[in-house]
Structure 1
């Protein structure tokens, strides 16, 4: 796993720009308000948790953290590797897969896909197992992205609630000028915190998680198609046509050309 520099630069760069603008204004201490932090950050977490189970929230943490790292694989390169592997298996038998399987992580979808073929399971059963696995993986990623999208919706709402709390406190104590400033700080800073969290943290991470999930699903579908084709002992030329239906039009396999 390597750091995803685009995500890291965007995330920390965005917060750095906002922080620099606050400091340049000369009154950065005024942007810290504990009641506003409690309302927005903790309130967003608690309200988001209400929409999901606690198990889903905890399970999503690992996937969300993975958005800061990448295991980038080029689908076209993977397709060519699979074509080469299918060609070798056609000439030397399915056990040729074992050499390739050893190089894969045991917990990966790719390892499981090819290991099922090595173990001699019928091709239709391999296809069914892998499709169920792929569907479950997609559902997990979708749930985690949904949690982030939900948090992005809740954060500005909690900011609005904080604004209303601050305004009520201010209007109920107009006779005491010393309370107007702190109440206004709560009113404005909760809106600020909510907007920053939603638009600079939750929404971008949700989009990146969905993008990474789509890329991973495409790679896994390539392995699924390859495992099924090898298990059925099909001509690799048919696999080439099948892989080209999965890849974008600008990235088509031309293995036999």
Structure 2
């Protein structure tokens, strides 16, 4: 047990590891935008399970439910239709209360683009972190080598400098391949499932809107003409 503890303390420097990890998270945040850090860590809460794993919900299932409700009860029946995905529920609710097919299509595509970007930024953040981490480790290695050469050939000072040099590279590789990249792969798989599901429901809802709702013509406003003074 003592041997394990000795090796653990030899390979783990909490301060140095925190510096490497903090540098990686900071650079990934700068690369992906100010909201990416919060979204990336919030996504970790649900990353351990597949979307709709408990309910078995999927795009085909939801589109058939929508068609069944429309056939049996009409548009009013959509009020009771719910999905495990909040975005899909909002699309159905919007379809129920829409009067213009064109306006519904514009709204649905805009909202789909917004949620897709939010979904993709989580995987993109951890992908950036996995790419940045080795570079952060290499920077630490170069700093350590500079410190080593600056001290000369003093055996008493070579040890800490060599330790710093090797540990930064080790931590960079660890953060990249053991932490960030597996998270990226997992979140990217979730994003593909959700984006594909949402796209199918949006396309189906737009087709229903074009069939069930009217398409109002654009409103033209004539410019105001100032009246001429009389006299």
Q: TM-score, normalised by structure 1?
A: 0.70
Rounded Cα–Cα distance in structure 1 between residues aligned with 2:64 and 2:154: 78
Alpha-carbon RMSD across the aligned residues, in angstroms, is: 2.8
Question: 1:182, CA displacement in angstroms?
Answer: 1.4
Change over 3 Å in CA distance of 1:85–1:140 after alignment to 2 = closer
Q: Secondary structure at the match of 1:68?
A: coil
Matches within 5 A, 1:40-189: 40-72=20-52, 77-101=58-82, 104=83, 108-189=86-167
The corresponding residue for 1:31 is 11
Rounded Cα–Cα distance in structure 1 between residues aligned with 2:161 and 2:141: 9
Question: 1:220, CA displacement in angstroms?
Answer: 1.1
Question: 1:32, CA displacement in angstroms?
Answer: 1.6
Q: Secondary structure at the match of 1:154?
A: helix
Question: 1:216, CA displacement in angstroms?
Answer: 0.5
Q: TM-score, normalised by structure 2?
A: 0.77
The corresponding residue for 2:222 is none
Deviates more, 1:150-159 or 1:52-61: 52-61
Q: Tell me if structure 1 keeps the 8 A contact 2:51–2:194.
A: no
Question: 1:77, CA displacement in angstroms?
Answer: 4.8
Rounded Cα–Cα distance in structure 1 between residues aligned with 2:29 and 2:66: 45
Question: 1:193, CA displacement in angstroms?
Answer: 0.6
Question: 1:228, CA displacement in angstroms?
Answer: 2.7
Q: Secondary structure at the match of 2:35?
A: helix
Deviates more, 1:132-141 or 1:69-78: 69-78
Deviates more, 1:188-197 or 1:73-82: 73-82
The corresponding residue for 1:214 is 192
Deviates more, 1:114-123 or 1:31-40: 31-40
Rounded Cα–Cα distance in structure 1 between residues aligned with 2:73 and 2:182: 47
Rounded Cα–Cα distance in structure 1 between residues aligned with 2:91 and 2:48: 27
Question: 1:29, CA displacement in angstroms?
Answer: 1.7
Rounded Cα–Cα distance in structure 1 between residues aligned with 2:42 and 2:183: 13
- Larger radius of gyration, structure 1 or 2? 2
Question: 1:75, CA displacement in angstroms?
Answer: 8.2
Rounded Cα–Cα distance in structure 2 between residues aligned with 1:176 and 1:200: 35
